[in-house]
């Protein structure tokens, strides 16, 4: 044990002797490990954000999108075809057990105004259950009621951004909001959600009863989306299948023909979204690993130079009784020390970089302790891997030749 400690001491001594070289060699590891940590943090941050986004869709949610239809081989996007009707929505609610609530959805964007202020925003028509489905609480006032929906009343729930833009310093509840020149009364304000993963402001929204939107604003009879909530997560798949069957039947789609709608449950959306960010994380980590590899090769290079330079020293050590193992351990320790210290500094650099990115550029980052531990041991392993060949070369030197080496 003492012998090992002494060997480590020798290795550290040798590293201190060549400070510049040591620092430059470490730099390779520092950058490599730092890049891996930072990239994995970015990837994990993105993943966490996507997961949070998906969770913000609500619980046990199934989304039914209208469209897509195909004309002459060209697919149009979801919601474009207007194939879903209110009757479709009502029959889903009525005929499929396990469905608790639904919210038919139409969307538009347009100019809104209050007093002298005006603003361009998203206008969404929903039922009052939308706020339950999306788990999006009203922080001020109330959501619109069943009554409002049935009567196509001109009431609106607004997001934080609208309140800030049109009613600065005022309480918006009860105020008049002109949506495309139709006056609506503001009944509630949503809890702020912030930006979504694409950087869009989710609070820049006006939500009104779908009936009001269809009749009074847009003059449409078809829906873009139907939000469906099931009683439990276990029902998602069977309800999804039942909705598909029901709508195919209602739309008279014969076997073998494509659906003119799309049903997605939340789990699918979550899987798809996190799969993307997982791939991104892996990709980022892989690219960063290349610099780690290059750092490792740098260590190997320097260790080979060092072994050649110190051939005589190796000879002297062997002459006074160092075994091959002692020499191997000495050089291996040097390599591992280089890579491990580089790794520790690199971890610091990586954490610092990801913190900086999240503060300065608003990128979501998440540095997990496991990635730090893995990075440290990986950097030590790089030292062992790339240090082994030079160290073995040193330990296999013949003491006579080594002593004579000039």
Contacts to other proteins by CB under 8 A: 2-3, 6-7, 10, 13, 17, 312-313, 315-326, 399-400, 403
CB 128 within 8 A of CB 142: no
DSSP bridge pairs for 125: 106, 208
Give residue for tokens 């070369």: 393
Q: Do 171 and 85 contact (CB within 8 A), yes or no?
A: no
Report the residue number, 288 or 391, with the smaller CB distance to other proteins: 391
And the tokens for 322? 């160092």
Spatial distance between the Cα atoms of 47 and 31, rounded to a whole number of angstroms:
24
Question: What Rg do the C-alpha atoms of the chain give, in angstroms?
Answer: 32
Asked whether 157 and 189 are in contact (CB, 8 A), the reply is yes
- Contact at 8 Å (CB) between 124 and 208? yes
Q: How far is the CB of 6 from other proteins (least distance, A)?
A: 5
Shortest Å distance, C-beta 384 to other proteins: 22
Q: How far is the CB of 27 from other proteins (least distance, A)?
A: 23
Instruction: Tell me whether residue 24 or residue 319 sits nearer to other proteins (CB atom).
Output: 319
| Residue 169 burial class via C-beta count within 10 angstroms: exposed 0-12, middle 13-18, buried 19 and up | exposed
> Is 142 or 311 the residue whose CB approaches other proteins more closely?
311
What does DSSP say about strands 182-190 and 155-158: parallel, antiparallel, or unpaired? parallel
Nearer to other proteins, 41 or 330 (CB): 330
b/e sequence 34-63, b meaning 16+ C-beta within 10 Å: bbbbbbbbbbbbbbbbbeebbeebbebbbb
Q: How far apart are CA 367 and CA 38, in angstroms?
A: 8
* Contact yes or no for 368/282 (Cβ under 8 A): no
Helix (H, G, I), strand (E, B) or coil at 102: strand
Q: Which is nearer to other proteins, 150 or 404 (CB)?
A: 404
């Amino acid at each position: 044990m003492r012998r090992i400690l002494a060997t480590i001491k020798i290795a550290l001594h040798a590293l201190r002797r060549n400070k510049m070289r040591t620092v430059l060699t470490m730099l390779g590891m520092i950058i490599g490990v730092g890049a891996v940590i930072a990239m994995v943090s970015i990837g994990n941050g993105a993943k966490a954000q996507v997961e949070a986004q998906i969770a913000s869709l609500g619980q046990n949610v199934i989304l039914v999108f209208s469209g897509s239809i195909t004309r002459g081989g060209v697919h149009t996007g979801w919601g474009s075809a207007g194939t879903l009707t209110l009757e479709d929505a009502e029959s889903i609610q009525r005929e499929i057990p396990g469905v608790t609530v639904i919210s038919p959805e139409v969307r538009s964007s347009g100019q809104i105004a209050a007093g002298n202020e005006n603003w361009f925003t998203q206008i969404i028509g929903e039922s009052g259950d939308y706020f339950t489905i999306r788990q999006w609480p009203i922080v001020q006032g109330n959501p619109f009621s069943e009554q409002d929906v049935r009567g196509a009343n001109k009431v609106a729930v607004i997001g934080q951004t609208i309140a800030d833009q049109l009613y600065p310093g005022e309480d918006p509840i009860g105020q008049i909001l002109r949506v495309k020149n139709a006056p609506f009364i503001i009944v509630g304000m949503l809890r702020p959600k912030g930006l979504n993963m694409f950087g869009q402001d989710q609070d820049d929204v006006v939500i009104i009863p779908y009936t009001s939107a269809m009749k009074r604003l847009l003059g449409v009879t078809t829906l873009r989306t139907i939000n469906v909530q099931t009683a439990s997560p276990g029902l998602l798949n069977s309800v999804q299948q039942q909705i598909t069957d029901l709508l195919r039947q209602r739309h008279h789609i014969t076997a073998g023909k494509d659906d003119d709608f799309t049903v997605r449950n939340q789990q699918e959306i979550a899987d798809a979204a996190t799969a993307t960010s997982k791939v991104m994380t892996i990709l980022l980590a892989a690219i960063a690993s290349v610099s780690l590899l290059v750092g490792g090769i740098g260590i190997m290079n320097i260790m080979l130079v060092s072994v050649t330079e110190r051939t005589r020293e190796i000879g002297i050590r062997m002459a006074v009784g160092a075994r091959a193992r002692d020499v191997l351990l000495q050089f291996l320790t040097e390599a591992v020390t280089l890579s491990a210290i580089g790794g520790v500094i690199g971890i610091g650099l990586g954490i610092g970089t990801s913190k900086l990115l999240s503060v300065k550029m608003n990128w979501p980052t998440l540095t997990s302790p496991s990635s730090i531990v893995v990075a440290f041991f990986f950097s030590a392993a790089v030292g062992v891997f790339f240090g082994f060949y030079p160290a073995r070369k040193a330990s296999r030197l013949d003491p006579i030749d080594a002593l004579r080496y000039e």
